[in-house]
Chain A
Amino acid sequence: MLKDKVAFVTGSTRGIGWAVARTFAQQGANLFLNGVSDQAHLDSCAGQIRSEFGVECSGFLADVCDPTSVKRCYTEIFKRYKRLDVLVNNAGILDDALLGMIPDAAINRTIQVNTVGPIYHLQEAARLMSRNKSGSIINISSIIGRVGNEGQAVYGASKAALIGLTLSAAKELAPKNIRVNAVAPGFIGTDMVKQLPPAKYDERVRSIKMGRVGEAQDVANAVLFLASDLSTYVTGQVLGVDGGMLI
């Protein structure tokens, strides 16, 4: 479904990003991965994808909210392929705290990584995609950004902002045949949610109508749909992948 397309997935060395990257590679996409701190792990992930799927794959060690690093990524993509077909804004952090107990640093870092970084990436990606008048951008939001949750005011704000970004960018970029959509995962069994206290984890599982925690692959499948030509007339949508979760 993505044969010879060029895709960039941020935050793609584990969790949902890793599942998306593998799914894209399985469908024939040439890939750029991204991690923030561990070059050896990033190189290992890229090598694993190359050997397993026979596609081109390399990694950018870059902080998604550092504009200089972001520009360097897109300059490299341009040099190598002259084009970008798919961007998945996946990198994100979760730092729960109740109102009144949220440190300034946590507020700033969460908004920077979850919201500002995706804006930088979307802006650069849209410029590259405009050249070919084609592209798909998928922002990984969250069910928390749609309906909110206690202890997640900042995370919820950062992910709700991503939905606003998606809706506006979709309108602006539609004339250039660039589609912009968001995926809003529910409770997915990644390292990030395993940080939750056991009681909170159990409570969340009980709120899922389908009776199971989501898997990263469930989200990756939805992202693949939005990245592929199966969704050529779909833009400005927020696709929930939550098993009927109620918060």
Chain B
Amino acid sequence: MPYTKSSNSDAAAAFLLVMTDNIDKLKGAFIENVGVPADTDWQKLAYGSTPGWDSVAHMALISGIENAFDIMLSTDEVINMSDFSKAKQIVASHGIALDA
């Protein structure tokens, strides 16, 4: 297909849709495994201080994220995933389209 302005914006829109879908998947993993509500302040989530985000929930969260995105996180990534922003960065580093 020849390059056109509209096809470019269609691709951008599709990419945005994928990103939104992936953010929802990531949030879903937190909701399911850490037990935070869907309307939580995502930027304030932090391992160890957010109620429910203890070491047991963390390992469940890791499994949830790995299954959701079909990736395998390294031990260093597991240890470093201490807030939502870092979770986005780490997942994005596996080639997942996320606004990290």
Which residues from chain A sit less than 8 Å from chain B, CB to CB?
71, 74-75, 78, 82, 123-124, 127-128, 130-131
Contact = CB atoms under 8 A, between A and B. Distances in A.
A128 B59 contact: no
A100 B3 CA distance: 78
Contacts of A123: 75
Interface of B: 59, 62-63, 66-67, 70, 72-75, 78
20 contacts: A71-B74, A71-B75, A74-B72, A75-B72, A78-B72, A82-B70, A123-B75, A124-B75, A127-B62, A127-B63, A127-B66, A127-B72, A127-B73, A127-B78, A128-B72, A130-B59, A130-B63, A131-B63, A131-B66, A131-B67
Secondary structure at chain A's binding surface: helix, strand, loop or mixed? helix
B53 to A, nearest CB: 18
Contacts of A71: 74-75
Contacts of A78: 72
Which 6 pairs show the lowest CB-CB distances between chains A and B?
Answer: A78-B72, A130-B63, A131-B63, A131-B67, A71-B74, A75-B72
A123 B73 CA distance: 12
- Name B's interface SS: helix
Nearest to A128: B72
B32 to A, nearest CB: 15
Nearest to B59: A130
Q: Which of A123, A124, A127, A128 has the most CB of B within 10 A?
A: A127
Contacts of B74: 71
A130 B74 CA distance: 14
B37 to A, nearest CB: 25
Nearest to A67: B75
Contacts of B70: 82
B21 to A, nearest CB: 21
A127 B77 CA distance: 13
B76 to A, nearest CB: 9
Nearest to A133: B63
A212 B98 CA distance: 63
A124 to B, nearest CB: 7
Contacts of A124: 75
Contacts of A127: 62-63, 66, 72-73, 78
Contacts of B73: 127
Given A124-B75, A130-B63, 12 more contacts: A71-B74, A74-B72, A75-B72, A78-B72, A123-B75, A127-B63, A127-B66, A127-B72, A128-B72, A130-B59, A131-B63, A131-B67
Nearest to A74: B72
Contacts of B75: 71, 123-124
Contacts of A131: 63, 66-67
A92 B78 CA distance: 28
